[in-house]
Amino acid sequence: MSESNKMTSGMTRANVAILIAAFVLLAGAIGYAIWRDSSSSAVDPMPQGAAGPADQLAELEARTRREPNSAEAWTALGAARFDLSDFAGAAAAYEKAVALSPDSAGLWSALGEARVMGGGSDPMPAQALQAFDKAIALDAKDPRARYFLAVKKDIGGDHKGAIEDWFALLADTPQGAPWEADLRRTIEQVGQIHKIDVAARLAATQARPLTPDEMPVAARAIPGPSRADMEAASQLPKGQQDQMIEGMVSALEAKLKANPADVDRWIMLMRSRMTLGETAKAAQALKDGVAANPNAAARLKAQGQLLGVPGA
């Protein structure tokens, strides 16, 4: 698997936030380094004079000093360090995050991946395996942990077992997922290396259709803090940026207090919190939304999974 692209230099503060949120979202869903490469191309080019990666990293590090008990702050720092190939630093940040949010399978598997990437000559460090096992114990469907546990089988000589596990993961992959092609390529390459015929099976295996609850159309149609909103905020002084963005989310929360039965607004709130990199608050929004709408729990959880909300 290839290393992820380094963080593009010169991003606006808003685009950095979007990139980190997108990283966390993908990491919660699958998290393989090669699959994050494609997401970086969607980020707009950065205007001249904007802060470089060192300044952006310093801002995230400063946030963890201001908010040492914030799991999302440590998660954002871990994501940024990983994107800069500082895998030891990423692991250290993720260790802080899992200590604060120990029930998040996505965070444990992110920690495991950082430990793998920073493992040097050891392709599967014991500490990485421990993190993946913890993720699976919390969520048996965690795709990243499943992928790397199959890698362990392949490393250990059980190539057929690894391929079987990857096929099982492929069968659970939602239709249109951005990682499907790379997963297929992994199966194909390992099959070729070890003389295992996978061609016919790959051709016959299709990603599963989305369930009605997983359909993201409604969530996409709901207005909320968008990239345009974030870009508009980036043109303001920092204090006004924070005030503008928080004002949008606060207004949304106020509407939900008045009408907690509005399921679409709970989805919007989850999406907004994930866009801002506030994963713990997104998880709380999911919990509150389900409590207020138990009959819509399946839909809220399915949308939360698509958004990468911890615990969805």
Q: How many CA atoms lie within 13 A of 293 on its CB side?
A: 20
CATH code for position 15:
1.25.40.10
The answer to whether residues 133 and 139 touch, using CB atoms and an 8 Å cutoff, is: no
271 part of a folded domain: yes
Considering the domain boundaries, does residue 212 fall inside one? Answer: no
Rounded to an integer, what distance in angstroms lies between the CA atom of residue 290 and that of residue 256?
13
Q: Are 84 and 53 in contact (CB under 8 A)?
A: yes
Contact at 8 Å (CB) between 205 and 171? yes
Q: How far is CA 88 from the centre of its chain?
A: 19
Choose from 52-66, 218-232, 268-282, 287-301 the range with maximum mean pLDDT.
287-301
Last-in-domain residue among 95, 111, 135? 135
Compute, in degrees rounded to 10, the torsion defined by CA atoms 34, 273, 17, 136: -30
Among the candidates 135, 164, 190, a domain finishes at 135
Asked whether residue 89 is domain-assigned, the answer is yes
User: Based on the domain organization, do 224 and 115 belong to the same domain?
Assistant: no
Burial of 180 (0-12, 13-18, 19+ CB in 10 A): middle
Residue 37: partners with Cβ closer than 8 Å, 6 or more residues away: 2, 4, 5
Q: Are 301 and 253 in contact (CB under 8 A)?
A: no
- Cα angle at 296 between 134 and 250, to 5 degrees? 85
In the predicted model, is pLDDT for residue 66 greater than 70?
A: yes
pLDDT exceeding 70 applies to what percent of the chain? 69
As a whole number of angstroms, the distance between CA 11 and CA 171 comes to 37
Is residue 153 assigned to a domain? Answer: no
| Same domain, yes or no: 109 and 6 | yes
Kindly report the average pLDDT of the chain as a whole number: 74
Residue 304 and residue 103: Cα distance in Å, rounded?
15
pLDDT of 150 strictly over 90: yes
Query: Is 131 in the same domain as 37?
Result: yes
230 and 116 inside one domain: no
The number of distinct structural domains making up the chain is: 2
Domain assignment present for residue 14? The answer is yes
The model's confidence at residue 17, banded by pLDDT at 50, 70 and 90, is very low
pTM, to two decimals: 0.58
Distance CA 272, CA 1 (A): 31
Is 181 part of any domain?
A: no
pLDDT at 132: 96
Amino acid at 13: R
Q: Residue 182: inside a domain, yes or no? A: no
Query: Cβ atoms within 10 A of the Cβ of 309, count?
Result: 29
Q: Is residue 166 part of a domain?
A: no
Q: Are residues 115 and 1 in the same domain?
A: yes
Whether residue 121 sits in one domain with residue 13: yes
Write the pLDDT tens digit of every residue in 160-214.
999 999 999 998 887 766 667 778 888 998 999 999 999 999 999 877 776 655 5
- Give SS3 for 174: strand
Instruction: Read off the CATH number of the domain in which 272 is found.
Output: 1.25.40
Give the least confident one: 7-16, 90-99, 243-252, 299-308. 7-16
Look at the block and give the residue holding tokens 């159309």: 217
Domain housing 2: 1-135
